């Protein structure tokens, strides 16, 4: 452990001992480059840096392993998989995002991964159970009707609302239920002993902090066969600071996202 050697008994990844040790850090504060057709991908508004996804994929898989993303967007996970020679399947309900992903792979000369258009709740049926080595996904934004009332009209009109393709508003409970159902079904696709990592940002709305990561983490921990193993904090250095409450109230500037890590342990 802690050596520069790869241990032949390693069943989790291709990392050396020292790389493994580094990979267990619960905070990721490395800056990621604004690259890989960032302008094109930013039409989405919720895209993740492909190199961040690559770093995570390398922690939980070996070369040629199969990665699944049931909420692929413009393909942070799929691009990350191509960068480190993993195979991947992505699903998105919005054809525009899949189209952008395909353009990016062409422009970047990267291998195009398998994509499926439609509701994951339905499309996941086309993937064989226990065939996937890792799930890396990023849940859709919770659309709350009270968002309209917030002072930040810019957010309301931004791409964040469009990219989800959910024009209807949901209560937090409805949103949580939908996320749990899709992630539970996704986990059925995982091989025994393999991992699922879920990006989720907490939100500050209506003068209140919503601990969405904790709520989703607790709900998913109730799913039989899934054990929560970590909550990694990703510091998103691209976020700008806000002064919404100044000078009368403290309002947080959300600079981080959570990455909830689960392991499939049914036996």
Ligand X SMILES: C[S@@+](CC[C@H](N)C(=O)[O-])C[C@H]1O[C@@H](n2cnc3c(N)ncnc32)[C@H](O)[C@@H]1O
Query: Which CB sits closer to ligand X, 51 or 138?
Result: 138
164 in contact with ligand X (CB under 6 A) = yes
Out of 59, 67, 74, 104, point to the residue binding ligand X (CB under 6 A).
Answer: 74
Out of 20, 46, 55, 89, point to the residue binding ligand X (CB under 6 A).
Answer: 46
67 in contact with ligand X (CB under 6 A) = no
Query: Which CB sits closer to ligand X, 61 or 186?
Result: 186
Helix/strand number for the chain, H first, E second: 10, 10
Asked if residue 247 has a cis previous peptide bond (ω within 30° of 0), the answer is yes
Query: Which CB sits closer to ligand X, 20 or 213?
Result: 213
- Least separation, in Å, of the C-beta of 218 and ligand X? 21
Q: Which of 55, 97, 50, 49 is nearest to 72 (CA)?
A: 97
Angle, alpha carbons 189-90-212 (nearest 5°): 80
Measured distance CA(150)–CA(229) in Å, rounded: 35
Q: Which of 115, 132, 49, 117 is nearest to 83 (CA)?
A: 49
- Least separation, in Å, of the C-beta of 5 and ligand X? 34
234 in contact with ligand X (CB under 6 A) = no
The footprint of ligand X on residues 86-145 (CB under 6 A) is 91-94, 97, 119-121, 138, 140
Query: Which CB sits closer to ligand X, 166 or 191?
Result: 166
Angle, alpha carbons 125-139-239 (nearest 5°): 155
Question: Is 117 in a helix, a strand, or coil?
Answer: strand
- Least separation, in Å, of the C-beta of 257 and ligand X? 10
201 in contact with ligand X (CB under 6 A) = no
DSSP letters along 139-206, please? Answer: PPP---GGGGGSS-HHHHHSHHHHTT---S---HHHHHHHHHHHHHHHHHTEEEEEEEEEEE--EEET
What separation, in Å, do the N-terminal and C-terminal C-alpha atoms of the chain show? 27
Query: Which CB sits closer to ligand X, 37 or 120?
Result: 120
Query: Which CB sits closer to ligand X, 13 or 115?
Result: 115
Out of 28, 36, 44, 198, point to the residue binding ligand X (CB under 6 A).
Answer: 44
- Least separation, in Å, of the C-beta of 35 and ligand X? 13
Contact positions vs ligand X (CB under 6 A): 44, 46-48, 71, 73-76, 91-94, 97, 119-121, 138, 140, 163-165
């Amino acid at each position: 452990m802690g050596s520069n050697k790869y241990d032949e008994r390693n069943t989790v990844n291709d990392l050396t001992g020292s790389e493994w040790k580094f990979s267990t850090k619960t905070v990721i504060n490395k800056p990621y480059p604004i690259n890989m057709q960032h302008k094109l991908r930013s039409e989405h508004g919720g895209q993740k840096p492909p190199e961040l996804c690559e770093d995570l994929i390398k922690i939980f898989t070996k070369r040629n392993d199969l990665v699944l993303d049931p909420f692929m967007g413009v393909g942070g996970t799929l691009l990350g998989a191509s960068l480190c020679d993993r195979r991947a399947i992505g699903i998105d309900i919005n054809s525009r995002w899949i189209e952008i992903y395909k353009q990016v792979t062409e422009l970047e000369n990267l291998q195009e991964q398998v994509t499926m258009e439609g509701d994951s709740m339905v499309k996941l049926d086309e993937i064989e159970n226990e065939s996937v080595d890792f799930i890396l996904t990023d849940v859709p934004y919770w659309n709350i009707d009270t968002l309209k009332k917030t002072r930040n009209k810019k957010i309301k009109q931004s791409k964040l609302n469009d990219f989800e393709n959910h024009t209807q508003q949901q209560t937090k409970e409805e949103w949580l239920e939908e996320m749990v159902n899709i992630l539970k079904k996704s986990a059925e696709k995982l091989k025994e002993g393999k991992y699922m990592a879920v990006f989720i940002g907490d939100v500050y709305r209506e003068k209140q902090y919503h601990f969405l990561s904790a709520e989703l983490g607790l709900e998913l921990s109730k799913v039989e066969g899934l054990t929560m193993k970590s909550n990694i904090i990703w510091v998103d250095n691209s976020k700008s600071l806000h002064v919404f409450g100044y000078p009368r109230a403290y309002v947080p500037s959300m600079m981080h996202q959570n990455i909830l890590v689960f392991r499939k342990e049914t036996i």
